[in-house]
Amino acid sequence: MSREHIVVGIDAGTTKVATLIAEVSRSSSVHIIGVGVAPSRGLRKGVVVNIDEAVESIAVSVEKAERIAGFEVSSAYVGISGTHLTSLNNRGVVAVGRSDRVITEEDVARAVEAAQVINVPNNREILHAIPRQFIVDGQEGVKNPVAMSGYRLDVETHIVTGAVTAIQNLSRCIERNGIAIDQIVHEPLAASEAILTDEEKEMGVALVDIGGGTTQVAVFVDGSIWHTGCLSVGGSHITNDIAVRLRTPFAEAERLKTRHAHAIASAVAPDETVEVTTFGASRVEVVPRRDICEVAEARLQETFQLVQEEIKRSGYDGLLPAGVVLVGGTADLSGITDLATEVLQLPVRRGTPRGIHGLTDAVSGPAYAASVGLVLWGARSGQRITDRRPAARHDERFTIDPRGVSGRVKGWLRAILP
């Protein structure tokens, strides 16, 4: 049997913190062996607002996963989201270095580094610089230029930047749990690893991740990422709207949304009723179920209209034959794909994680797209995969990759190039 290694993914979101521990075999088969989910505290719209509470939530999630897997986590791939993340596209150009003009991995790494030479404010940091396509002596559409001949190598990259303070605060929460960070990954990119097919990415597709506090949009065309964006609206806004409409506590509104909401109110019988616990000595009232559904429909219509505007902003609103794939906890809402199809005028499907084995039942829903994607991202990137053995926990343990930028670039190039 092939020797196995461990990859850990931590998805710290607005409503939950999910930790996944996976075994990765030499044949790149990924088996989930540990799952830990805990309510999220100290985070709002993907950003840390209370470090102590966030540290505690992460600790509970990690401990649950460790108990199932049977050993301690020493390092992890960490997902990040929030409206502070922005993206742009840029081109890097280098001359081929070898005298025989054969392009090497070093040339590709230099080209990607050249694409990152942009004017980034001091309060922002580059998270990703992902090649979209290479151009060899004017020939476009090259996916892997290594071993090709040429004098000039261009690369078009998709660059994601984030606020330094938001990245540092999230990093500090992970470090205070004694966990080193393998890489911080933009969550839509991670989710795409677990959800989208190669054919969808090639044809043109938009991944829409409706989380608790934000909705993230990622557009893929010609097999590569072309646009990412984040909207400051999510599933928690539906819950809050229900709480205000029915004058009920937030926890009760969340229960009503999960069990009784439907994205299309007219699909619910007008005489159907629901018992609701309201404020005021915990009174129980009977309300039409349609009242809940109307609130959910109104908020989701607004959300999908904003998604439509974001897709138009990408410039590919008419070039997505594969349509839209919905993920995130809100994607489980009844009727949501029908409403999205109506508003977006595109094919819509609900995405569920794939490409994994083991404890798949625990992470089979669209709410775990980013979590599963993080371990798949780690398995394919091959950076700092640790052996399967108990690891001693040390406080404030965070190390910088000693290979530097060039080494890191080469590491993920080996993962993304065919």
Average pLDDT per block of 10 residues along the chain, 418 residues long = 75 94 89 96 93 97 96 94 93 92 94 92 93 93 92 95 96 96 95 96 96 94 92 95 94 95 96 90 85 97 97 88 96 96 96 91 93 94 45 35 45 51
- Is-contact 357 343, C-beta < 8 A? no
Q: Measured between alpha carbons, how far is residue 235 from residues 210, 278, 294 in Å?
A: 7, 21, 15
Asked whether residue 138 is domain-assigned, the answer is yes
- Range(s) of the domain holding residue 136: 86-161
Look at residue 278 and tell me if it is in a domain.
Answer: no
**Cα 21 to Cα 39: distance, rounded to the nearest angstrom:** 18
Asked if 45 and 214 touch (Cβ cutoff 8 Å), the reply is: yes
The token duo for 310 is: 């974001």
pLDDT of amino acid 399: 33
Question: What pLDDT sits at residue 302?
Answer: 97
Residue 136's pLDDT is what? 96
* Any domain includes 14: no
Q: What is the CATH number of the domain that holds 153?
A: 3.30.1490.110
In a domain, 217, yes or no: no
Query: What pLDDT is recorded for position 413?
Result: 54
86-95 vs 124-136, strand pairing mode: unpaired
Using CA atoms of 94, 95, 97, 99 in order, give the dihedral in degrees to the nearest 10.
Answer: 170
SS3 278: coil
Gap between the Cα atoms of 222 and 132, Å rounded: 8
What is the distance, to the nearest Å, from the Cα of residue 172 to the centroid of all Cα atoms in its chain? 20
Within a domain: residue 106? yes
- The reply to whether 350 falls in a domain is no
Tell me how many domains the chain contains: 1
Output the pTM of the full model. Answer: 0.88
pLDDT, position 393: 40
Q: How many Cα neighbours within 13 Å face the side chain of 193?
A: 24
Best CA proximity match to 386, nearest among 3, 41, 37: 3
Structure confidence at residue 254 (pLDDT):
95
Check residue 389 and give its pLDDT: 38
